[in-house]
């Protein structure tokens, strides 16, 4: 299955799901969430797949939601539907029967950071930067506000949400957001 924003390939028992919109720093369109759920379900059904790795093409993992696309949302009902689509997609990541690993380099912001929070493990290279800067544009993080609490202290998640702080890989590891920090390219 080849989507508009994601690539999916299986190599040596690993389903590699690649955020493939490098020219826009892998900013997530509304269609991204349906695509992600579809790729996760495909990997879950494939008996040759033992694990899934989600990573970004280009300079970073993902800068989060495509802000240009937010202007296309209709009224409040459409905005609620969009949030529900995102939540269903993230729930699919959490619920598949195979381990899902986020391999992060560069920015993992907003929805990109939230995607890492629903993965089973997060491996970040030293270039990784995590944050939920939604407050700086008048928004509140969706799943990040809820999922982050499962891994991070209440004070750490509040600091990220309220201040829009961008954490380097080592600080994200100290906050409990990252399992391991590795040199770039590993």
Q: What single string gives the DSSP state of each residue in the chain?
A: ---SSEEEEEETTEEEEEE--GGGTTPBPHHHHHHHHHHHHHHHH-TT--EEEEEESTT-SB--B-HHHHTT--SHHHHHHHHHHHHHHHHHHHHSSS-EEEEE-SEEETHHHHHHHHSSEEEEETT-EEE-GGGGGT---SHHHHHHHHHS-HHHHHHHHHH-PEEEHHHHHHHTS-SEEE-TT-
Name the active-site residue from 23, 134, 170, 186: 134
Dihedral Cα 33, 36, 40, 43, nearest 10 deg: 160
Is 134 one of the annotated active-site residues of the chain?
Answer: yes
Q: Which of 90, 42, 43 is nearest to 64 (CA)?
A: 90
Name the active-site residue from 85, 94, 114, 126: 114
CB 17 within 8 A of CB 39: yes
Is 85 one of the annotated active-site residues of the chain?
Answer: no
Task: Kindly list the catalytic residues.
Answer: 114, 134
């Amino acid at each position: 299955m080849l989507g508009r924003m994601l690539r999916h390939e299986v190599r040596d028992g690993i389903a590699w799901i690649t955020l493939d919109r490098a020219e826009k720093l892998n900013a997530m369109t509304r269609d991204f969430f349906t695509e992600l759920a579809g790729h996760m379900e495909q990997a879950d059904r494939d008996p040759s797949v033992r694990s899934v790795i989600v990573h970004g093409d280009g300079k970073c993992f993902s800068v989060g939601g495509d802000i240009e696309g937010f202007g296309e949302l209709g009224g409040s009902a459409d905005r609620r539907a969009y949030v529900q689509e995102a939540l269903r997609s993230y729930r699919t990541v959490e619920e598949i029967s195979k381990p899902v690993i986020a391999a992060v380099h560069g920015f993992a912001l907003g929805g990109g950071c939230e995607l890492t929070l629903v993965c089973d493990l997060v491996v970040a290279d030293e270039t990784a930067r995590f944050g939920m800067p939604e407050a700086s544009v008048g928004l509140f993080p969706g799943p990040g506000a809820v999922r982050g609490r499962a891994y991070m202290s209440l004070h750490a998640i509040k600091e990220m949400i309220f201040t829009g702080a961008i954490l380097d890989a080592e600080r994200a590891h100290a906050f409990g957001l990252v399992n391991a920090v590795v040199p770039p390219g590993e």
